[in-house]
Each structure stands twice: as C-alpha cells, then as structure tokens.
C-alpha cells in the first residue's frame, strides 16, 4: 500500500475534468422501499450513464489525467465488463488505443458491448486474476498504460464525484448503500460523503459467493478468493494482492459490509423492475436487496446506489418472471 492519501480536493479536480463528459444522474425517491423500512429512501440512478454504469466517471477521469505520451501508447485494463465498456468509450472519444482483458466468466453481452465501442478484446482464463496476467504482459511487451478498474487514485477520485452529488442532492442523508467489489466506487463515495458528513454511515453490499474485499478485511490483508458465477457478476474478481489504495480506504471509511445470497439478489432485480420501473443488473440491485432482506436497517434518510444496467436481457426476463435461475446459467 502507498503512503499517499486522496483528499476531497482530488475529487473536485475530477469533477472539473469530467464537466460535460458524464451525466449528473438523478436521485429519486422510492416510496415502496420507504414504506418497507420506515424512513425516506432514495435511489441514485447511475445506471443511466451512457455506458450503463458508474464506471464512466473513473475511467474518463483517469484517461484524461494521463500524459500525452501515455495516451499515445494506448491503454489496457482487466475488467468484469463495465469498466472495460467505460474505458473503451472514453478512449474512443479521445482517439486512444484501448485493450480490454476479461475472463470467460464475463457475460457475452458485456463483451460485445465493449467490442462495439472499438476496443481490442482479450479473453483469458476463468478469473479476473487470469485477465490481469494478460494486462501485465501487454504493459511489459507493448508499453501500454494500465488503467485498472478500481485500485488507482484517478479512478477512485472519478467515482467520488458520485458522492459529491449525493450530499448536494440529499444533504439530510444518513446511510449510503454502495455495491462493493474492488472498492473503487465505495472508496470514492465514502471519501466525499464522510468529508461532508462525518456521521453518515457508508455500507458496502456484496454477494456471498466470492466477495474478495470482505474476505480481505476479515483476514487483515488482501487475499485471493475463488471467483464463482453469480447474478452479481460485476462484483466478481479479486482486489489484488498488491492492493495500494482501496483496501486501506475501505477499511478506514466504510462502516459495515453486508453479503447477499443469490435469491436476495434476484429479488432485488425483480423489485427494481416491478416497483421502481428500473432495469438493473444484479450487482446494481444489491442495495435494494439489503433493504428488502432487512440486512440494513437505516434510522434516517438512506440512498441506494444503482450502479449499472448492463445485464443480459434474456437473463433479466427470466429473473423478473420469478424463475429460479441456476448459477451455472449465469457463467457466460
């Protein structure tokens, strides 16, 4: 880990860099969830970014922060789908070569979405760690610049701009529920929210199957976990044994981590569609799932971040119809 620290000034610098390049997404009330938990609940509709997820913030900020020389060499990243799509979009806008490395667990719809944006695709192995080995090779052999999906200061600062919007649009918020994977989103959001509101609770929500950040925090250091098929596929992958930024920030800034089983994730996707009229992927629905399951019980105004919509629509149709989807059917 590094001794350097991100500050709110870095998040505001990211906001200036992103001005006009991303959407300021809506924050809307959820009467159905408010009735369920007894306090006001709002949904941050980050799935409405042009690439379908919050990842556009960090990827665009990090790419724009690169030197001209680094951009000229091109960029590369490992991804479970959404970061790759965001980086491909930002790179195409900037005229920069982009290579995205993914494992065979990444759903086909996410792979094709990245390919359509003009990125070069490399499918390697069955885990994010396998994909990262290909990234490392390309950095060494072709001098590409790595922009990882979460463990990078400019990525975290970009995601933190979402937190700025939360405290501006809902100054009374007391609890924020944030999907948790490698920690880039929750680290940035927690930095912004807790700087403005130190007493606010930031809760990370992940899946029970292969939650790497949770396992690492329990161990007191970054650890490897087996990557398993899950309805929350965007939350898969490790945090990197050499994690330099997000492990420490999550440990210091996040108040609680909650894990959901597959049935709870499926119920959340269904609720988002039938009650909120929102199409979201499993990873994006976990905040809703935690409230529905009673695993988070806020005592004041709460916000659940809906982080992405890039779900295979045939899978979505099966989920909202109430089908008990078998996990191997989600492996992609």
The tens digit of pLDDT for each residue in 206-254 reads 999 999 999 999 999 999 999 899 999 999 989 999 999 999 999 999 9
Residues constituting the chain: 332
CATH topology of domain 55-146: Rossmann fold (3.40.50)
Over pLDDT 90: what percentage of the chain? 93
| Cβ 29 vs Cβ 42: under 8 Å | yes
Contact residues for 241 (Cβ-Cβ < 8 A; gap 6+): 222, 223, 224
**Per the structure block, which two tokens stand in for 316?**
């979505």
Q: How far apart are CA 254 and CA 248, in angstroms?
A: 10
**Per the structure block, which two tokens stand in for 154?**
């400019």
| Cβ 237 vs Cβ 290: under 8 Å | no
**pLDDT of residue 2 exceeding 90:** no
Helix residue ranges, H only, 254-328: 262-274, 286-292, 313-320
pLDDT-wise least confident of 241-255, 270-284, 315-329: 315-329
**pLDDT of residue 30 exceeding 90:** yes
**pLDDT of residue 69 exceeding 90:** yes
Which CATH code fits 8-54+152-330? 3.40.50.1100
What stretch(es) of the chain map to CATH 3.40.50.1100? 8-54+152-330, 55-146
């Amino acid at each position: 880990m590094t001794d350097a620290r991100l500050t709110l000034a870095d998040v505001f610098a990211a906001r200036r860099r992103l001005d006009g390049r991303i959407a300021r997404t809506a924050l809307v009330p959820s009467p159905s969830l408010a009735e369920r938990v007894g306090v006001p609940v709002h949904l941050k509709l980050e799935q409405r970014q042009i690439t379908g997820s919050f990842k556009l913030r960090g990827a665009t900020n990090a790419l724009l922060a690169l030197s001209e020389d680094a951009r000229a060499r091109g960029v590369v990243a490992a991804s479970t789908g959404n970061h790759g799509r965001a980086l491909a979009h930002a790179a195409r806008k900037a005229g920069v070569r982009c290579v995205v490395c993914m494992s065979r667990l990444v759903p086909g719809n996410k792979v094709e979405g990245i390919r359509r944006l003009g990125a070069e695709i490399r499918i390697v192995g069955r885990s994010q760690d396998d994909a990262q080995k290909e990234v490392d090779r390309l950095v060494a052999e072709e001098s590409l610049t790595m922009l990882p999906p979460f463990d990078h200061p400019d990525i975290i600062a970009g995601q933190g701009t979402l937190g700025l919007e939360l405290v501006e649009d809902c100054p009374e918020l007391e609890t924020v529920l944030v999907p948790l994977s490698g920690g880039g989103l929750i680290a940035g959001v927690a930095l912004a929210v807790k700087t403005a509101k130190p007493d606010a609770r930031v809760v990370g929500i992940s899946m029970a199957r292969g939650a790497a950040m949770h396992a690492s925090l329990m161990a007191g250091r970054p650890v490897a976990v087996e990557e398993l098929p899950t309805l929350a596929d965007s939350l898969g992958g490790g945090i990197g044994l050499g994690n330099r930024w997000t492990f420490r920030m999550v440990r210091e800034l996040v108040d609680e981590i909650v894990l959901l089983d597959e049935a709870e994730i499926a119920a959340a996707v269904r609720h988002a569609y039938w009650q909120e009229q929102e199409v979201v992927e499993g990873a994006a629905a976990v905040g809703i799932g935690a409230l529905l399951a009673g695993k988070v019980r806020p005592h004041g105004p709460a916000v659940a971040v809906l982080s992405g919509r890039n779900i295979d629509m045939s899978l979505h149709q099966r989920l909202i119809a109430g089908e008990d989807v078998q996990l191997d059917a989600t492996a992609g």
